[in-house]
Amino acid sequence: MSEREQDWLKQLDEQALSKQEQFLDMIAAKLKRPRVKQKPQRPFSGAPDFWQQYELSETEKLDMFQRNFEAAGGYVLHAATLQDASVLIAEKAAELKALHILRQDEEPLARLGLEQALPHVQVRCWNNDETEDWKARAAEADIGVVLADYAVAYTGSITLLSSKTKGRSVSLLPTLLFALIPRSSVVTKLGEVLKQFDELGRAELPAGIHFVSGPSRSADIENDLTIGVHGPGIVYAIIIDDII
Protein backbone atom coordinates (compact mmCIF):
# COMPACT_ATOMS: atom_id res chain seq x y z
CA MET A 1 0.00 0.00 0.00
CA SER A 2 1.37 3.39 -0.99
CA GLU A 3 1.87 6.26 1.43
CA ARG A 4 -0.90 8.18 -0.31
CA GLU A 5 -3.35 5.33 0.22
CA GLN A 6 -2.38 5.07 3.87
CA ASP A 7 -3.03 8.78 4.38
CA TRP A 8 -6.42 8.45 2.68
CA LEU A 9 -7.44 5.55 4.95
CA LYS A 10 -6.26 7.50 7.99
CA GLN A 11 -8.44 10.47 6.98
CA LEU A 12 -11.46 8.19 6.55
CA ASP A 13 -10.86 6.72 9.99
CA GLU A 14 -10.60 10.16 11.58
CA GLN A 15 -13.79 11.30 9.85
CA ALA A 16 -15.66 8.22 11.08
CA LEU A 17 -14.47 8.77 14.66
CA SER A 18 -15.47 12.45 14.47
CA LYS A 19 -18.98 11.56 13.28
CA GLN A 20 -19.25 8.97 16.05
CA GLU A 21 -18.34 11.56 18.68
CA GLN A 22 -20.86 14.03 17.27
CA PHE A 23 -23.57 11.38 17.31
CA LEU A 24 -22.89 10.41 20.93
CA ASP A 25 -22.74 14.08 21.99
CA MET A 26 -26.13 14.63 20.37
CA ILE A 27 -27.66 11.69 22.28
CA ALA A 28 -26.23 12.98 25.57
CA ALA A 29 -27.67 16.44 24.85
CA LYS A 30 -31.09 14.96 24.11
CA LEU A 31 -30.95 13.07 27.40
CA LYS A 32 -29.79 16.23 29.16
CA ARG A 33 -26.89 14.59 30.90
CA PRO A 34 -23.12 14.54 30.38
CA ARG A 35 -21.49 11.79 28.39
CA VAL A 36 -19.79 9.01 30.31
CA LYS A 37 -16.41 8.44 28.70
CA GLN A 38 -14.83 6.19 31.33
CA LYS A 39 -15.99 2.59 31.58
CA PRO A 40 -17.69 1.89 34.92
CA GLN A 41 -15.94 -0.16 37.56
CA ARG A 42 -17.31 -3.68 38.00
CA PRO A 43 -17.30 -4.69 41.68
CA PHE A 44 -17.62 -8.38 40.79
CA SER A 45 -17.15 -10.79 37.90
CA GLY A 46 -19.80 -13.27 36.88
CA ALA A 47 -23.09 -13.86 38.66
CA PRO A 48 -23.69 -11.96 41.91
CA ASP A 49 -23.40 -13.80 45.21
CA PHE A 50 -27.14 -13.96 45.86
CA TRP A 51 -27.66 -15.81 42.58
CA GLN A 52 -24.77 -18.21 43.13
CA GLN A 53 -26.24 -19.05 46.53
CA TYR A 54 -29.75 -19.55 45.16
CA GLU A 55 -30.60 -23.22 45.50
CA LEU A 56 -33.84 -25.19 45.47
CA SER A 57 -34.65 -28.40 47.27
CA GLU A 58 -34.97 -31.55 45.17
CA THR A 59 -38.78 -31.37 45.22
CA GLU A 60 -38.72 -27.67 44.30
CA LYS A 61 -36.33 -28.34 41.41
CA LEU A 62 -38.55 -31.06 39.99
CA ASP A 63 -41.70 -28.95 40.35
CA MET A 64 -40.10 -25.86 38.77
CA PHE A 65 -38.63 -27.84 35.89
CA GLN A 66 -42.01 -29.39 35.12
CA ARG A 67 -43.83 -26.03 35.25
CA ASN A 68 -41.33 -24.30 32.98
CA PHE A 69 -40.91 -27.19 30.54
CA GLU A 70 -44.67 -27.60 30.14
CA ALA A 71 -45.09 -23.82 29.79
CA ALA A 72 -42.86 -24.10 26.70
CA GLY A 73 -45.09 -26.80 25.22
CA GLY A 74 -43.31 -29.94 26.40
CA TYR A 75 -44.64 -32.82 28.49
CA VAL A 76 -43.15 -34.18 31.70
CA LEU A 77 -43.67 -37.75 32.89
CA HIS A 78 -42.30 -39.49 35.97
CA ALA A 79 -41.03 -43.06 36.22
CA ALA A 80 -39.60 -44.95 39.16
CA THR A 81 -37.35 -47.20 37.05
CA LEU A 82 -36.13 -47.71 33.49
CA GLN A 83 -38.70 -50.46 33.10
CA ASP A 84 -41.48 -48.01 33.96
CA ALA A 85 -40.05 -45.55 31.44
CA SER A 86 -40.03 -48.31 28.82
CA VAL A 87 -43.74 -48.88 29.41
CA LEU A 88 -44.48 -45.17 28.95
CA ILE A 89 -42.55 -45.06 25.66
CA ALA A 90 -44.19 -48.26 24.41
CA GLU A 91 -47.66 -46.92 25.19
CA LYS A 92 -47.02 -43.69 23.32
CA ALA A 93 -45.45 -45.54 20.37
CA ALA A 94 -48.53 -47.76 20.13
CA GLU A 95 -50.83 -44.74 20.36
CA LEU A 96 -48.98 -42.99 17.52
CA LYS A 97 -48.63 -46.21 15.50
CA ALA A 98 -44.88 -45.58 15.26
CA LEU A 99 -42.90 -47.74 12.84
CA HIS A 100 -39.34 -46.53 13.45
CA ILE A 101 -37.59 -45.66 16.71
CA LEU A 102 -33.99 -44.50 16.96
CA ARG A 103 -32.14 -44.35 20.28
CA GLN A 104 -28.69 -43.23 21.32
CA ASP A 105 -26.04 -45.86 21.96
CA GLU A 106 -26.17 -45.48 25.74
CA GLU A 107 -26.17 -48.42 28.16
CA PRO A 108 -29.21 -47.24 30.19
CA LEU A 109 -31.19 -46.87 26.96
CA ALA A 110 -30.25 -50.41 25.96
CA ARG A 111 -31.75 -51.59 29.25
CA LEU A 112 -35.09 -50.09 28.29
CA GLY A 113 -35.65 -53.23 26.21
CA LEU A 114 -37.68 -51.39 23.56
CA GLU A 115 -36.99 -54.14 21.04
CA GLN A 116 -38.82 -56.61 23.25
CA ALA A 117 -41.53 -54.17 24.34
CA LEU A 118 -42.28 -53.19 20.72
CA PRO A 119 -41.74 -56.29 18.56
CA HIS A 120 -43.60 -54.78 15.60
CA VAL A 121 -41.53 -51.57 15.59
CA GLN A 122 -38.05 -51.21 14.10
CA VAL A 123 -35.87 -50.04 16.99
CA ARG A 124 -32.38 -49.00 15.94
CA CYS A 125 -29.30 -47.89 17.87
CA TRP A 126 -27.37 -44.83 16.67
CA ASN A 127 -24.05 -45.42 14.94
CA ASN A 128 -23.78 -49.17 15.59
CA ASP A 129 -23.20 -49.83 11.89
CA GLU A 130 -20.57 -47.74 10.08
CA THR A 131 -22.09 -48.52 6.66
CA GLU A 132 -25.46 -46.99 7.59
CA ASP A 133 -26.62 -43.46 6.74
CA TRP A 134 -27.63 -42.51 10.28
CA LYS A 135 -28.85 -39.04 9.47
CA ALA A 136 -31.29 -40.56 7.01
CA ARG A 137 -32.40 -43.09 9.64
CA ALA A 138 -32.94 -40.25 12.12
CA ALA A 139 -34.98 -38.31 9.57
CA GLU A 140 -37.31 -41.26 8.97
CA ALA A 141 -37.69 -42.11 12.67
CA ASP A 142 -41.05 -41.47 14.29
CA ILE A 143 -39.50 -41.36 17.76
CA GLY A 144 -36.04 -40.47 19.04
CA VAL A 145 -34.90 -41.59 22.50
CA VAL A 146 -32.01 -39.85 24.24
CA LEU A 147 -30.42 -39.75 27.68
CA ALA A 148 -30.19 -36.18 28.97
CA ASP A 149 -27.01 -35.02 30.64
CA TYR A 150 -28.70 -32.32 32.72
CA ALA A 151 -32.05 -30.63 33.24
CA VAL A 152 -32.27 -27.05 34.48
CA ALA A 153 -35.22 -26.18 36.69
CA TYR A 154 -35.07 -22.38 36.39
CA THR A 155 -35.09 -22.35 32.58
CA GLY A 156 -37.09 -25.55 32.04
CA SER A 157 -34.45 -26.85 29.64
CA ILE A 158 -32.69 -30.13 28.96
CA THR A 159 -28.96 -30.28 28.17
CA LEU A 160 -27.83 -32.83 25.57
CA LEU A 161 -24.16 -33.38 24.76
CA SER A 162 -23.22 -35.02 21.49
CA SER A 163 -20.57 -37.65 20.85
CA LYS A 164 -19.96 -40.65 18.60
CA THR A 165 -22.58 -42.66 20.50
CA LYS A 166 -24.89 -39.71 21.19
CA GLY A 167 -25.62 -38.28 17.77
CA ARG A 168 -27.37 -34.92 17.79
CA SER A 169 -29.60 -36.08 14.92
CA VAL A 170 -31.39 -38.43 17.32
CA SER A 171 -32.81 -35.41 19.16
CA LEU A 172 -33.21 -33.10 16.15
CA LEU A 173 -34.77 -35.11 13.31
CA PRO A 174 -37.47 -37.53 14.59
CA THR A 175 -41.07 -36.34 14.86
CA LEU A 176 -41.29 -37.06 18.60
CA LEU A 177 -38.52 -36.98 21.19
CA PHE A 178 -38.28 -38.80 24.51
CA ALA A 179 -35.54 -37.44 26.78
CA LEU A 180 -34.81 -39.59 29.81
CA ILE A 181 -33.58 -37.54 32.77
CA PRO A 182 -32.02 -39.13 35.87
CA ARG A 183 -33.53 -37.44 38.91
CA SER A 184 -30.04 -36.62 40.16
CA SER A 185 -29.27 -34.67 36.95
CA VAL A 186 -31.82 -31.92 37.64
CA VAL A 187 -30.06 -28.73 38.77
CA THR A 188 -31.41 -25.36 39.87
CA LYS A 189 -29.59 -22.89 37.59
CA LEU A 190 -28.10 -22.93 34.11
CA GLY A 191 -24.83 -21.64 35.54
CA GLU A 192 -24.31 -24.95 37.32
CA VAL A 193 -24.14 -26.65 33.92
CA LEU A 194 -22.07 -23.96 32.19
CA LYS A 195 -19.51 -23.95 35.02
CA GLN A 196 -18.71 -27.59 34.31
CA PHE A 197 -18.01 -26.76 30.67
CA ASP A 198 -15.62 -23.99 31.77
CA GLU A 199 -13.79 -26.44 33.99
CA LEU A 200 -13.40 -28.92 31.12
CA GLY A 201 -11.59 -26.39 28.96
CA ARG A 202 -12.06 -25.81 25.24
CA ALA A 203 -10.06 -28.85 24.16
CA GLU A 204 -12.29 -31.23 26.13
CA LEU A 205 -15.66 -29.76 25.15
CA PRO A 206 -18.04 -32.09 23.29
CA ALA A 207 -18.74 -31.52 19.59
CA GLY A 208 -22.22 -30.24 20.35
CA ILE A 209 -24.05 -28.84 23.38
CA HIS A 210 -27.81 -28.51 22.93
CA PHE A 211 -30.39 -26.95 25.20
CA VAL A 212 -33.92 -28.22 24.57
CA SER A 213 -36.89 -26.32 25.98
CA GLY A 214 -39.96 -28.06 24.66
CA PRO A 215 -40.82 -28.65 20.99
CA SER A 216 -39.27 -26.78 18.08
CA ARG A 217 -40.91 -23.39 17.51
CA SER A 218 -40.52 -21.02 14.59
CA ALA A 219 -42.36 -17.80 13.70
CA ASP A 220 -42.23 -15.57 10.63
CA ILE A 221 -42.22 -11.78 10.55
CA GLU A 222 -45.98 -11.77 11.19
CA ASN A 223 -45.54 -13.91 14.31
CA ASP A 224 -47.35 -16.91 12.83
CA LEU A 225 -46.08 -19.70 15.09
CA THR A 226 -45.28 -23.10 13.62
CA ILE A 227 -44.35 -26.12 15.73
CA GLY A 228 -41.85 -28.74 14.62
CA VAL A 229 -40.12 -26.96 11.73
CA HIS A 230 -36.53 -27.22 12.95
CA GLY A 231 -36.88 -30.18 15.31
CA PRO A 232 -39.39 -32.52 16.99
CA GLY A 233 -42.92 -31.16 17.26
CA ILE A 234 -43.57 -33.21 20.41
CA VAL A 235 -41.11 -33.55 23.29
CA TYR A 236 -41.51 -35.71 26.40
CA ALA A 237 -39.17 -35.48 29.37
CA ILE A 238 -39.24 -38.60 31.54
CA ILE A 239 -37.74 -38.03 34.98
CA ILE A 240 -36.50 -41.36 36.35
CA ASP A 241 -35.95 -41.94 40.07
CA ASP A 242 -33.61 -44.90 39.70
CA ILE A 243 -31.57 -45.44 36.52
CA ILE A 244 -29.11 -47.99 37.95
Q: Report the 3 state secondary structure along 48-101.
A: CHHHHCCCCCHHHHHHHHHHHHHHCCCEEEEECCHHHHHHHHHHHHHHHCCCEE
Domain ranges of the chain: 1-39, 56-240
Of residues 130, 131, 126, the one with CA closest to residue 144: 126
Higher pLDDT, 147 or 36: 147
Q: Long-range CB contacts (< 8 A, 24+ apart) of 204-208?
A: 206/161, 206/162, 206/163, 207/162, 207/163, 208/160, 208/161, 208/162, 208/168
Percent of the chain scored above 70 by pLDDT? 98
Residue 147 has pLDDT above 90, yes or no: yes
Residue 233 has pLDDT above 70, yes or no: yes
Residue 183: pLDDT band by 50, 70, 90 thresholds? very high
Residue 202 has pLDDT above 90, yes or no: no
Q: Which CATH class is domain 56-240?
A: alpha beta
8 A C-beta contact, residue 162 and residue 210? yes
* 47-82 pLDDT per residue, tens: 888 888 999 999 999 999 999 999 999 999 999 999
Instruction: Report yes or no on whether pTM surpasses 0.75.
Output: yes
CA distance 60 to 75: 18
